[in-house]
Amino acid sequence: MNKYLEIDHVSITFPTDNGPLNVLDGVNLKLDQGEFVTLIGHSGCGKSTVLNIVAGLLQASEGGVVLEAKEVNEPGPDRAVVFQHHSLMPWLSVYDNVRLAVDQVFKKTKSKQERHQWTLHNLELVHMEHALERKPDEISGGMKQRVGIARALAMEPKVLLMDEPFGALDSLTRTHMQDSLMEIQARLKNTVIMITHDVDEAVLLSDRIIMMTNGPSAKVGEILDIDLPRPRDRLALAENPTYNHYRAEVVRFLHERHLQKGLDQNDSSNEKEQAMPRDISDNEPHEPPVRLAS
Ligand SMILES: Nc1ncnc2c1ncn2[C@@H]1O[C@H](COP(=O)(O)OP(=O)(O)OP(=O)(O)O)[C@@H](O)[C@H]1O
Ligand SMILES: [Mg+2]
């Protein structure tokens, strides 16, 4: 049976000055509707590239993405993206940045007054109602990120793609946004793929954590099912042995990959390998991802 969202044997190779660079090699991931997964892995392994392919902003060299049995070839309002670096229109106010997206998605289904209320509601959700008329260059980086999140949520997308959405936020705002996101996702049942470098954030929010191998030719390394009841309470979880077990598993994975990265960097033959043109028709079977027992 088809899954709701399928990332099916996705590989991508970019041309570079040193020859083709194979960034992803057969990334396979299937999501149920309403599932919340996080992608975790070392910097440069290809996490944003995966997200951009699901968003339809990049085309896979091999394989593809299927959402509700339909192949994804271009961006669409069914997949909203919160980028790693905010992407607000600099000439529009905070309100207008969100309103533009609301108008695009709900022009036919909501009245003008409803679209106004919906825009305000989503900006209130991220506590930005005090700065409606300000332009992006008149607000802080964290505020810009919050407006980007409001814009994505306001589109009520089937799939919410978030690239380190809380990375630029102070820890109090970050905590608040994580709680809001859990609450919103429980209500709207969005399917979410989120990239994070924060192990606690990954365990707190996820149904599954997808741990990617180091690049180049990154793939899914291990998958950790997070079997913790919802709603989740961060304070209660801090004392929870299962939570701490999951946390330790992710830290272990990252630490092992970090050591691996060090070994790779010491191995000069590997540098040649990275720069070498790679036969992308290579059909060697890949190692299946390891599923950790919870
Ligand atoms: N358009 C492109 N052309 C060439 N190389 C690219 C392109 N886009 C990404 N890359 C390379 O692909 C690799 C993966 O990049 P990506 O941005 O997906 O990593 P990431 O895992 O999101 O890293 P980070 O955690 O630092 O955000 C990097 O080596 C990057 O330089
Ligand atoms: Mg990235």
Q: What is the pLDDT of residues 104-145, one digit of tens each?
A: 999 999 999 999 999 999 999 888 999 999 999 999 888 898
Q: pTM for the complete prediction? A: 0.87
| pLDDT at residue 149 greater than cutoff 50 | yes
- Ligand number nearest CA of 254 is 1
> Nearest CA to 253 among 40, 37, 60?
40
Which residue puts its alpha carbon closest to atom 23 of ligand 1?
44
Which residue puts its alpha carbon closest to atom 16 of ligand 1?
46
Residues having CB closer than 6 A to ligand 1 are 14, 16, 21, 23, 41, 43-49, 84, 215
Which residue puts its alpha carbon closest to atom 1 of ligand 1?
14
pLDDT at residue 267, rounded to an integer: 62
pLDDT at residue 200, rounded to an integer: 96
Domain boundaries, the chain: 5-78+157-237+253-292
CA of 263 to the centre of ligand 2 (A): 23
CATH superfamily of 5-78+157-237+253-292: P-loop containing nucleotide triphosphate hydrolases (3.40.50.300)
Q: Residue 273 — pLDDT band, cuts 50, 70, 90?
A: very low
Separation of alpha carbons 55 and 72, rounded Å = 8
Bridge partners (DSSP) of residue 162 are 82, 194
Phi/psi for 221 (5° steps) reads: -90, -65
Mean pLDDT of the chain: 88
For 98: left if phi > 0, alpha if psi spans -120 to 50, otherwise beta; the answer is alpha
Q: Give the number of the atom of ligand 1 that is nearest the alpha carbon of residue 218.
A: 14
| pLDDT at residue 279 greater than cutoff 70 | no
CA of 281 to the centre of ligand 1 (A): 21
